[in-house]
């Protein structure tokens, strides 16, 4: 398998895994029917979500690193950092 296709495969797998976690968490919230438990489940998702985003973005950047100039790579990384900075300012 071509390395870039392999990266895209793993990026997709991580996103599917993330989606399955979200759906499972939603079912747990419905099952327990407790606001306190739902908040606990939501807080775990709040930790996992950014980690998956960073991992998927990193895989994507590694996959295109040979095709993109260093300047453009730094612009992409700056954009990712600005997303997290903006989220923390909300």
- Which of 24-28, 55-59, 74-78, 85-89 is the least confident region? 85-89
Closest alpha carbon to 76 in 58, 90, 53: 58
pLDDT of the residue at 85: 85
Neighbours of 18 (CB within 10 A): 18
Is 76 a residue whose pLDDT tops 90? Answer: no
- Average pLDDT (81-87) is 84
- pLDDT for residue 90: 61
13-70 residue pLDDT tens: 999 999 999 999 999 999 999 999 999 999 999 989 989 988 998 898 888 888 888 8
b/e map 32-55, b = 16+ CB within 10 Å: eeeeeebeebeeeeeeeeeeebee
């Amino acid at each position: 398998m071509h390395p870039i296709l392999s990266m895209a495969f793993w990026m997709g797998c991580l996103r599917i895994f993330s989606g399955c976690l979200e759906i499972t968490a939603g079912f747990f919230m419905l099952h327990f029917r407790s606001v306190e438990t739902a908040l606990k489940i939501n807080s775990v998702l709040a930790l996992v979500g950014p980690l998956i985003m960073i991992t998927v973005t990193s895989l994507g950047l590694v996959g295109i690193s040979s095709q993109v100039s260093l300047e453009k790579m730094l612009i992409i990384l700056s954009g990712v950092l600005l997303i997290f900075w903006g989220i923390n300012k909300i």
